[in-house]
Amino acid sequence: MIATHNEGKRREVAELLAPYGLDVVAAGALGLPVPEESEDSFLGNARIKALAAARATGLPALADDSGFSVAALGGDPGVRTADWAELPGGGRDYAMAMAKVAALAEPSPDRHAWFSCALVLAWPDGHTEGFLGEVHGRWVHPPRGDRGFGYDPMFIAEGGDETFGEMEPAAKHAISHRARAFAQLRAACLD
């Protein structure tokens, strides 16, 4: 089970798990509530989500907490990445969030940015294993590309020239923060 209500994350994690023949069911599809993410770290919030799903279903659960950080903003939006896209009446608008990042960071010449992904695998007995992956690069504005999700259209990984929003999914999966965290999980728990 994947402890997420985010379709983009569900899709990416399902693609990473596909070679292992694991069936993927999302917490959102099971109608599980979204637990409050009260920690100040990606690993802490992923642990909250994974444990809540594992205990609610009696099955092992994998949770992801990820975010986009900008050096010129002191690492924000960071752990509160999704909050920057929240709309007053509900839902999220990432175009608005990307515009906010650009408006606040534009005065600085520092374009360094990074994506972080924490993956936590939890069992119903409370045992957890956590893994953190990062990919560094730079932010760009205006956003480019219509692939991926979230802040992907404004991020170019080091050594690249396409945003995550412009890249073919397989190319992104080969270098992304989620792929780097998954490689650690795979080595520790799947291989």
As annotated, the active-site residues are 65
Tell me the C-alpha distance between 140 and 153, whole Å: 8
Vertex 143 angle, CA 140 and 147, to 5°:
120
Amino acid at 42: F
Vertex 180 angle, CA 174 and 182, to 5°:
100
Cα→Cα distances 32→60, 113, 126, 173, Å: 14, 33, 18, 27
Contact 178, 150 (CB under 8 A): no
SS3 label, residue 50: helix
Tell me the C-alpha distance between 155 and 115, whole Å: 9
Tell me the C-alpha distance between 64 and 4, whole Å: 7
SS3 label, residue 58: coil
Residue with tokens 């924490």: 118
